[in-house]
Amino acid sequence: MDHRVAPLRVGPVMTAVGDVMQVLWSIRLKLYAKPAEDARLALENALEPFGEAISSFETDNGKGWLIEVFSQAKPAARDVAAALKPLGDHQPEIARVPDKDWLAESRRGLPEFKAGPFFFYGSHFKGNVPKNMIGLEIDAGMAFGTGRHETTRGCLLAVARLAKTRKIRKPLDIGTGTGILAFGVARLCNVPVLAGDNDADAVRVARGNAKVNKLARQVRILRSDGYRAKAIRDGAPYDLVTANILANPLIELAPDLARVLAKDGRAVLSGLLREQEKDVLAAHVAAGLALDFRIRLGDWSVLVLRKGKTKRLTRSTVLPKPRRRGAA
């Protein structure tokens, strides 16, 4: 699984062995003001080596922030203090945590969530899917993508917008994580979807989620580094490609995307911060793609691309940041 930057670390549970991690210790760093992105990343990077799982989220209605690291071994207070020292005066708490089923805890804490026409819920949900919405059951677990993160939500909104005006027949989802985007497209457009992820755990989780949502026959999930899997190359061209996989891999994969995208197709790219838009776009323009529209959510940006030259950008949507609760 890719844990390189913040969005992949949001959420309280990443399991080390099987489905339940036996957490024994936690380092809690409570910030009483919301940190700047750089400062938050620096603190997360400093603390991450002390545990097997890290969560990082807003508290107090957006006024504060909590970074929490979970570890199976007791972290040495002196080493933690030394790691944080260059980053200011911080007072982390190191404590033993009761042994419990963190995955079940996390699932219970994951509220239902709407994004465009989609309604996401966990396996604990006993209510009804709202009328005229597409219900998908996704639990928090080892793969990224419960729909709560801006990068996923932005893709879902972009896909919903595209589906209003275009007939999507052959979609591909790269970096599928839980499978969330592939499932959303499958249900919204009522078509078969091909999905890939380079992480074996993500592929396993996504296949399980496909079964739970009765989409195992409609969504084919493969292990693939970018567009390399033979089935993905052989299946090209695709009229919709979704890829929520961070700025650098997107940049590296730009020529491959251009090769598999249909002449009048659309690519929905996510996992990039607003300040990374320029670089991601430049790599894709160099590969023969152009910006169709973009959606900005909080600090994050979703670029929707097509083949050809960029005309004047006419549609740019800036949405307010949703309140972050629970796992990504």
Residues 6+ apart with CB under 8 A from 18: none
Token digits of residue 98 = 């009761």
How near is the Cβ of 127 to ligand SAM at its closest, in Å? 23
Q: How many residues does the chain have?
A: 328
Comparison of 44 and 199: residue with beta carbon closer to ligand SAM:
199
Comparison of 7 and 12: residue with beta carbon closer to ligand SAM:
7
Residues 6+ apart with CB under 8 A from 58: 34, 64, 65, 323, 324
Token digits of residue 292 = 């169709």
Comparison of 75 and 154: residue with beta carbon closer to ligand SAM:
154
How near is the Cβ of 140 to ligand SAM at its closest, in Å? 12
Footprint of ligand SAM (CB under 6 A): 1-2, 7-8, 143-145, 151-152, 155, 174-177, 180-181, 196-199, 202, 224-226, 244-245, 249, 271
Comparison of 1 and 160: residue with beta carbon closer to ligand SAM:
1
How near is the Cβ of 246 to ligand SAM at its closest, in Å? 7
How near is the Cβ of 150 to ligand SAM at its closest, in Å? 10
How near is the Cβ of 320 to ligand SAM at its closest, in Å? 20
Q: Which residue has the tokens 């760093």?
A: 29
Q: Do the Cβ atoms of 278 and 137 come closer than 8 Å? A: no
CA 46 to chain centre: 22
Token digits of residue 213 = 């949502």
Element (H, E) at 220: strand 219-223
Comparison of 15 and 224: residue with beta carbon closer to ligand SAM:
224
